[in-house]
Amino acid sequence: MQRSPAASLFWNWSLGRPAVANTEFGEIAPDQADSVRARNRDDEAAPQLDAAGQDEAHHRAEAQRDRVVALGNVEQVDDQADAVLVVIAELKRVAEPGAPHQRRAHDHVQRLLEHGVLVVDATKFLAGPFGCLVLQDLGARVVKVDPPGGEEFRGVAGASYCALNRDKDQVCVDLKTPAGRDQFAALVGSADALVENMARQVAEELQLDLEALRAANPRLVHCHLDGWGHGPLADTPGFDPLLQARSGLMVAQGGTDTPVIQPMSLHDIGTGTLAAFGTVVALYERARSGEGQRVDVALSRTSVVYQAGEYTTYPDRPAPRVGYIDYVGDDTAHRYVEASDGWIGVCADTAEQQHAWDAVRGDDDAALATTTVGEVVDACRAAGIPAIAVLGRDEVYTSEALFADESWLIVDDDDLGEVRVMRSYSEWDGVTPQTRAAMHAAGRDTDAVLQEVMAPP
C-alpha cells in the first residue's frame, strides 16, 4: 500500500534509508558510518593558491584597504555606493598574511565577504548553529564554542551537526570554571559578533554576565536566540515541536482532532536565518555608528511570521484552511494526487488549466490509475498545467535537478569521513561556489584559537 506524501515524509525522516545513513541535513555512506573514526586531516592537504595567485589577492586586498582609508570617517560618506564599500570593507577586515581573523588554509574559495568578521558561536542544537553557518557562508570566520568533549548534539546526530557546523573553528571551553569563563571573555572581547541561545537560568548558573562582556567590547554585536521571547513562557524550552503545538501549526496541518507534527525543523531554520539577517544589519549599523547592538530573535515570532497570511484578519474574512490526517488538498485542481507508481502535485489555477487537467485525469481520476507519474507530468507540461512529481527524501538525494544546480557539498569530517550536505543558499557574481569543506573534531582548534585571542598585545 502506498503512503500519502505526508506519511512517506515522516517514514523517511524517522527511519532513514537503507542505502545510506542520512539525516535531515546530511548523508554518510554506510561503510563510513559503520566505521566512525577520529581522523586528523592536515589543512595542508587542501589545494592552495600558487605564489602568483597569492600576490594578486594580496594586491587586491591592499587596493581595497587604501580605498577605505581614503574614504575617511563613515559618517562623512554621502555617496551610497561608497557607504556600501565601507560596510563591505568593515566586514571583510582584510588582514596581512598571518594576522588574526584569517580563515583556515583549506578555505581557499573566493567569498563574497572574504576574511570576514569574527563570530563567536555559543549556541547549540539547530537554530543558532544554522544562523552562524549562514554568517560563515557570507564570509565570516566562526568559532564554535562547546563544552569539554563537544556539544551533545554532535554525538546524537553527527551528520546533522556536521552540516550545521562545517568549517567552523572547533573550540571547547569549560564555562563552569573561572579559567573557562576568562577564556570565553577573551574570545568575545576580540569578536565582532557573539551569537548565543543560553537560557537565563543557564547564564546565571554559569555566572556568565553577557551584558558585562558587551560593555567590555562596545563594538560587539550580540545576537540572542530563544524560544518564547520575553513573555510568560520565557523560561520554557524552545524546541520546534513545542512551537508547532503552541502556534497553531499542528492544527493547521492536521485539524483540531488529529494535529500533525511537521518533522522538518521549520522554526529552527527560519529563526537561524532571521538571526543571521539581524546580525548582518547590526554590523551594517555598526559601520555607520561605530557601536554594537543587541539583536533578539525568538522561535515563537518566527512561527507567527510563517503563518502571517493565516493570522491576518479583516471583516468577513473566510476562515483559513485547516488540514486533516493525510490531507492532500481541498479541490481536484490544487492537490496531491496518486498515479500508478507514485504521487504528483498539481496546481491548476486558470479555467483553461483546470479544463486541461480534467482531460488528463479522467472522470474521478480514473485515467491516473493506469498512468505513471512521468507520463502524467509530461502530459501536464504539454498542456501547460503546473505539475511535478512528489519525491521522497531518498529520491531527493539522487535528484538530477539538484545535481545540475550543484546543490551538494562534500565535507571531510574528522569523525565521520566524507559527508554530503547542502551547500550555500545564494550565489553572487564573481564568487566561486565552495565545493569542499571540513568538519574538525571537538576541541581540535582550541589551543590555536585561545593562543590567538589571549596572546599579550
The pLDDT assigned to 208 comes to 87
Query: Is 209 a residue of the active site?
Result: no
Tell me how far apart the alpha carbons of residues 349 and 336 are, in angstroms, rounded to a whole number: 14
Active-site choice (192, 268, 413, 414): 268
Q: Which residues share a beta bridge with 145?
A: 171
Please count the CA atoms within 13 angstroms of the CA of 217 that sit on its side-chain side: 20
| Cβ pair 362, 368 in contact under 8 A | yes
Of 116-120, 319-323, 342-346, the range with the highest mean pLDDT is 342-346
Query: Is pLDDT larger for residue 208 or for residue 175?
Result: 175
Compute the average pLDDT of residues 382-409.
88
Query: Is pLDDT larger for residue 272 or for residue 27?
Result: 272
The pLDDT assigned to 29 comes to 53
Query: Is pLDDT larger for residue 42 or for residue 402?
Result: 402
The sheet with strand 294-298 has its strands ordered as 169-172, 141-146, 118-122, 193-196, 221-226, 294-298
pLDDT at 427 over 90: no
Tell me how far apart the alpha carbons of residues 369 and 344 are, in angstroms, rounded to a whole number: 12
The pLDDT assigned to 27 comes to 57
Tens digit of pLDDT for each residue in 82-121?
444 444 444 444 333 333 444 443 343 445 554 569 999 9
Tens digit of pLDDT for each residue in 230-241?
888 888 888 888
The pLDDT assigned to 112 comes to 54
Strands (E), 98-237: 118-122, 141-146, 169-172, 193-196, 221-226
List, in order, residues 6 or more apart from 271 with CB less than 8 Å away: 127, 131, 225, 297, 298, 299, 302
Tell me how far apart the alpha carbons of residues 25 and 18 are, in angstroms, rounded to a whole number: 17
Tell me how far apart the alpha carbons of residues 397 and 63 are, in angstroms, rounded to a whole number: 43
225 confidence band (pLDDT: 50, 70, 90): very high
Tell me how far apart the alpha carbons of residues 347 and 331 are, in angstroms, rounded to a whole number: 10
Task: Name the residue type at position 250.
Answer: M
In order of 167, 186, 456, the CA distances from 213 in angstroms are: 26, 9, 19
The pLDDT assigned to 53 comes to 54
pLDDT at 252 over 90: no
For residue 224, which of 242, 201, 199, 248 has the smallest C-alpha distance?
Answer: 199
pLDDT at 7 over 70: no
pLDDT at 75 over 70: no
The pLDDT assigned to 81 comes to 43
Entry pTM: 0.75
Of 24-33, 92-101, 106-115, 422-431, which gets the smallest average pLDDT? 92-101
Tell me how far apart the alpha carbons of residues 437 and 171 are, in angstroms, rounded to a whole number: 18
Of 1-10, 172-181, 306-315, 371-380, which gets the smallest average pLDDT? 1-10
Tens digit of pLDDT for each residue in 135-169?
998 889 999 999 999 999 998 889 999 999 999 99
List, in order, residues 6 or more apart from 167 with CB less than 8 Å away: 104, 107, 136, 142, 437, 438, 439
The pLDDT assigned to 93 comes to 41
Query: Is pLDDT larger for residue 128 or for residue 395?
Result: 128
The C-alpha cell 569543506 sits at: 437
Tell me how far apart the alpha carbons of residues 386 and 248 are, in angstroms, rounded to a whole number: 29
Tens digit of pLDDT for each residue in 177-201?
999 999 999 999 999 999 999 988 8
- Domains in the chain, please, with CATH? 15-48+85-308+408-454 (3.40.50.10540), 343-389 (no CATH)
The pLDDT assigned to 63 comes to 47
Query: Is pLDDT larger for residue 424 or for residue 439?
Result: 439
| pLDDT averaged over every residue in the chain | 79
The C-alpha cell 580563515 sits at: 103
Compute the average pLDDT of residues 337-341.
96
35 confidence band (pLDDT: 50, 70, 90): very low
For residue 65, which of 94, 28, 34 has the smallest C-alpha distance?
Answer: 94
Tens digit of pLDDT for each residue in 277-311?
999 999 999 999 999 999 999 999 998 888 888 88
Compute the average pLDDT of residues 333-337.
95
19 confidence band (pLDDT: 50, 70, 90): very low
